[in-house]
Amino acid sequence: MDFLEWAMSPWGQRVPVHIAWFLIWVAVIAGLFFFFVHATYVRYFAKAKEFAGNVSPAEAARIPEHVPRHSLTARLFHWIMAASMFTLLFTAFLPRVGVQFPWVTYHWIAGAVLTASIIFHIIHASFFMDFWTIWPDRIDLRDAWRRTLRFAGKTEPPPDKFAKYPLENKLYHGAIIAAGLSAIITGVFMMSRVRTIFFPRNPYLFSDMTWGMMYVLHGLAGVGLIALIMVHIYFGLRPEKRAITKSMIFGWMSRDFYLKEHDPKRWVVEAPSSPLTSKRAEDRGLTDAG
């Protein structure tokens, strides 16, 4: 079983033209298998979360009832990115399973929207947010090791509460970056093979072998995104994660959830002093919202 589709170039060279399309179903089945394994583990084997340290009543009292988590700008970016990514996946893979429509135009338009939104997000995250809050730090790695040892039955101190983003969120963010940028960069070059409003069509920009490898990488990124998005939706619907999902809609999470899961020293939340200040703080996302 070949994982790639091959063709002969006009010069008799065997070149790859795309991934084998059964990999779509591999990604879907892998996502469903993950759902089953994780849900079974949580239902029958997982222990209650245990964290080190406690928050004093005085410290808890200063936390606002609604803790700002995502600014309006960050939320708009998220949902625009989600809409464009779903459009890209549907327009890419539905024709491969028999649903025929003029997908090429919709596909490159959605790709242009996704590319523009990612460029905006990079600028926004770099200059208007706490850029490093989404990347793993020393405490994340230490606590991951502690959790692993505790799961294996070793005696280890409990981990600290999370910063703004738990380690699994940060690792998922890294996986999405790898798959998303692979799809975007190859997709931008592939747009030169079709007629768009951005630049003249030029199918001879690269050699047949280079084009083939580019299509392979684009396809692998696409099927990878299928599994990643399935996992993202699954966790978004999990009961214990719904407070995080709601924060991407309304911009805030409850004080109780914040105190239960997050460390006020690692994710500092400033209590608003007035309704006007609260509104301004929410628009700015406080210190690192997004």
Is the distance from CB of 21 to CB of 96 less than 8 angstroms? Answer: yes
pLDDT: which is higher, 52 or 77? 77
Distance CA 256, CA 276 (A): 24
Per-residue confidence (pLDDT) for residue 283, from 0 to 100? 47
Summarised one tens digit per residue, pLDDT across range 146-200 is 999 998 889 999 999 999 999 999 999 999 999 999 999 999 999 999 889 888 8
| Tokens of residue 68, six digits | 């700002």
Per-residue confidence (pLDDT) for residue 98, from 0 to 100? 78
Per-residue confidence (pLDDT) for residue 126, from 0 to 100? 94
| Tokens of residue 147, six digits | 């959790």
CA 135 to chain centroid, in Å, comes to 13
| Helix (H), strand (E) at residue 163 | none
- Residue 271's pLDDT band (boundaries 50, 70, 90)? low
Average pLDDT over residues 240-267: 95
Cα four-point dihedral sign 80, 86, 89, 95: negative
**Which CATH architecture describes the domain 4-56+82-243?**
Up-down Bundle (1.20)
Is the distance from CB of 214 to CB of 182 less than 8 angstroms? Answer: no
pTM, two decimal places: 0.87
Longest Cα separation, the chain? 76
Summarised one tens digit per residue, pLDDT across range 206-228 is 999 999 999 999 999 999 999 99
At 80, the amino acid letter reads I
Is 135 a residue whose pLDDT tops 90? yes
DSSP state of 159: P
Which of 193-208 are b and which e, b meaning 16 or more Cβ less than 10 Å from the residue's Cβ?
A: beebeeeeeeeeebeb
Adjacent-strand bridge partners of 66: 254
Per-residue confidence (pLDDT) for residue 109, from 0 to 100? 95
Give residue limits of the domains in the chain. 4-56+82-243
Alpha helices in the chain (DSSP H): 23-44, 57-61, 72-93, 103-127, 138-151, 167-190, 208-237, 242-250, 255-261, 275-284
Q: Please, what is the average pLDDT of the chain?
A: 90
Summarised one tens digit per residue, pLDDT across range 15-28 is 999 999 899 999 99
Which of 218-240 are b and which e, b meaning 16 or more Cβ less than 10 Å from the residue's Cβ?
A: bbbbbbbbbbbbbbeebbeeeee
Per-residue confidence (pLDDT) for residue 100, from 0 to 100? 81
Instruction: Report residue 218: phi and psi, to 5°.
Output: -60, -45
CA atoms within 13 A on the CB side of 74: 24
